[in-house]
Amino acid sequence: MKQTILIRGVIYGLLAAAIWGGMYVVSDVVLKTVPPFTLLTFRLVLGILVLGIMLYLQRETLQRPSKSQTLQLIGIGVLGFGISVGAQFVGTDESSAINGSLVTSASPAFILVFAALLLHEKLTFQRILAVVLATLGVLVIIDPGKADFSSETFHGNIALAIAAITWGLYSILIRRVSIKIDTLIVTFIAFIGGLLLTVPASLIELQTRPIGTIDLGTIIGILYLGVVSTAGAMWLWNRAFALVDASIASLTFFAQPLVGTILSVILLNQLIQPPLIIGGILIILGVLLSIYSPGKIFSMRKGFKFSSNK
């Protein structure tokens, strides 16, 4: 049963990261018309509408959180969707996509540290090695040599570092509150918390960067980002951390750059390069290592031998 829950949690995390990996293709187009914090606000509003409908349909079965729990979830939302995702948008805008992928790929490492400090999860050699393997896979795919860390991108890189650290902390806090509160409620209220920061930031942003001409493609892109990448993927990510240890769920984040690169090959007709294959294998090995349980395999073999001898 525990192994089934583990695998399900990993699948949820992989699906979320895969969706985010494809998100950048859409975001690049929409951000040309809608500035970052305004787009993030649209995403959160759409996410609230979608999850709000789901909450209404399940209102008889879900237990409402207390006032203190609600305030806690709002604070977590400010951290995750206001500060972290906002910093990621600002960082990518002022730096580069390569820098964004490289710096934010450090999030699983921060999750591992915060999991040990706040959740008292064991920093086993197996889990550390899994993170190292997956991180090497990301570095092979992204190629750090293409990153730009000049003074011109300094502020953007700082914002990306803040995004990586705060996303790690957000993910840990989500696991802690998900023990007592349903993931749907957690995600819904956290979205509301994010709006407390993104709405004021959007109003300031629009004074210098107004929304451009919105066409059908932009509308479809915003709907996709709000419904699929926000409501769907954020619920999947939160659910993954509710089901399995944070240090294991964090590794699924590495699917994001892998899927993004694969989609670039498919949609932009780029050639499949050896780094993509090698990096992909390393990421897959890292994820598999994180869920591998030698003790359970040994006990299965032992049980098989006992049956055959009998």
Q: What is the pLDDT along the chain (310 residues), one digit of tens a residue?
A: 577 888 888 899 989 988 887 776 687 778 889 998 999 999 999 999 999 999 999 988 898 899 999 999 999 999 999 999 888 877 777 766 666 666 777 788 888 888 888 988 887 787 788 888 877 877 776 666 666 667 777 777 788 889 889 999 999 999 999 888 999 999 999 999 999 999 999 999 999 999 999 999 899 999 999 999 999 999 999 999 999 888 888 888 877 777 777 766 676 566 667 776 787 788 778 777 766 666 544 443 444 343 334 3
**E strand or H helix at 167, and its extent?**
helix 154-177
134-150 residues labelled b (16+ CB within 10 A) or e (exposed):
bbbbbbbbbeeeebeee
Residue 48, pLDDT score: 97
145-202 tens-digit pLDDT = 666 667 777 777 788 889 889 999 999 999 999 888 999 999 999 999 999 999 999 9
Residue with tokens 């007592």: 180
pTM for the predicted model, two decimal places: 0.80
Measured in whole angstroms, how far is the alpha carbon of residue 93 from the centre of its chain?
19
